[in-house]
Amino acid sequence: MELKLARSELNGEPKSISLQEIEEAVKREGNKIFYFDRENSHKDLMNLVDYFEERGYSVYFREVRYGLDENDYIYEVHILQ
């Protein structure tokens, strides 16, 4: 599964990250926070949450609004051991 990380610039393109890369980063650091772009489907992000919860991690997921427009949001995911 490929997910798109949050953009660092409003007009920039989001970078992709694979599930395996996310898992390696979490194993390496123990606890990790990821910010994902609004272009990701909610279903894919719920699959990510389920994937890590099945492996014994605590996962916190929320939508972060940073502007007044309805499209001004990103997803925040905390993965903790």
Position 3 scores a pLDDT of: 97
Position 37 scores a pLDDT of: 96
Position 23 scores a pLDDT of: 95
User: Taking residues 13-28, what's their average pLDDT?
Assistant: 96
- Provide the residue range defining the domain that includes 56: 2-80
User: Taking residues 29-39, what's their average pLDDT?
Assistant: 95
Position 18 scores a pLDDT of: 97
DSSP string computed for the chain: -EEEBPPSSTTSPPPEEEHHHHHHHHHHHSSEEEEE-TTS-HHHHHHHHHHHHHTT-EEEEEEEE-SSSTT-EEEEEEEE-
Structurally, the chain folds into a number of domains equal to: 1
Query: Residue 34's domain is classified under what CATH number?
Result: 3.30.1710
Position 81 scores a pLDDT of: 87
Position 67 scores a pLDDT of: 87
User: Taking residues 51-71, what's their average pLDDT?
Assistant: 94
Q: What angle do CA 7, 10, 14 make, to 5 degrees?
A: 25
